[in-house]
Amino acid sequence: MISQDNAMSDSNGLLADLLARTALRDTQAFHRLYELTAPALYAVLLPLVRGSAVAEAILQECYIAVWLHAGSYVPAISRPATWLLSIARHRAFDYLRSAVAPPAPAPAEAGLAGLPARLEQVQPPALRTGLAAMDANVRASLVAAYFTGATAQQLAAQRTLPSATVTGWLRRGLQQLRQAVDGAAETRTPRP
């Protein structure tokens, strides 16, 4: 690792040039940047996340971020190696934070069987109807978010799903509940 770190620090001018060219979407510069820096970044990630497959996945995310944000690198603020290492460390810490999220309850397989008893006791009929009409994944995500306080990102990490999927389920579930409650309110309100 020391020789790799030295290789990164000894070539600050080259790395800065490669980052500048990467910002201009020069794929050859990006590949060369990867070749020069990936071994050192991997060596930093591996002991942090304690798994080669996870370290490789985070390394890939790092280089996606480099490709997308190379234009934000400012040589006057930091060395290229420092900028790259900070991206890698932040990604690793994000992974570690999401890995310790509280477990989500298992999705309900049929009807309201998987819902906690206290939810069945306190919900008005409109909520019960709205929940019963939902897709099982939507319902399970909504209930888990409500009772555990887990975020969409935490629920997604627990179920190894994209966070956008779980965010969509939560949004859809809330919309369906709102429609069920509004529909019930309209039927109960006497019209003049």
Give me the half-sphere count of Cα atoms (radius 13 Å) on the Cβ side of residue 134: 31
Instruction: Return d(Cα 78, Cα 31) in angstroms, integer.
Output: 22
- The confidence score (pLDDT) of residue 1 equals 38
- The confidence score (pLDDT) of residue 121 equals 47
What are the angstrom distances between the C-alpha of 71 and each of 34, 120, 165? 16, 53, 30
Q: Kindly report, residue by residue over 43-94, the tens digit of the pLDDT.
A: 989 888 888 888 899 999 999 999 999 999 998 888 999 999 999 998 888 8
Instruction: Return d(Cα 139, Cα 107) in angstroms, integer.
Output: 8
- The confidence score (pLDDT) of residue 30 equals 94
Return the higher-pLDDT residue of 177 and 121: 177
Instruction: Return d(Cα 65, Cα 59) in angstroms, integer.
Output: 10
User: For domain 2-99, is the CATH number 1.10.3260.10?
Assistant: no
Judged against a pLDDT cut of 90, whether residue 4 lies above it is answered with: no
Instruction: Return d(Cα 183, Cα 25) in angstroms, integer.
Output: 52
pLDDT above 70: percentage of residues in the chain: 73
Judged against a pLDDT cut of 60, whether residue 136 lies above it is answered with: yes
Contacts of 39 (CB under 8 A, 6+ apart): 4
Does an H or E element contain 73, and which?
Answer: none
Instruction: Return d(Cα 54, Cα 42) in angstroms, integer.
Output: 10
User: For domain 117-188, is the CATH number 1.10.10.10?
Assistant: yes
User: What is the number of other CB atoms lying within 10 angstroms of the CB of residue 169?
Assistant: 23
CB 15 within 8 A of CB 5: no
What do you get for the CA distance between the two ends of the chain, in Å? Answer: 79
Q: At which residue do the structure tokens 């709102």 appear?
A: 178
At 24, which amino acid appears? L
Domain ranges of the chain: 2-99, 117-188
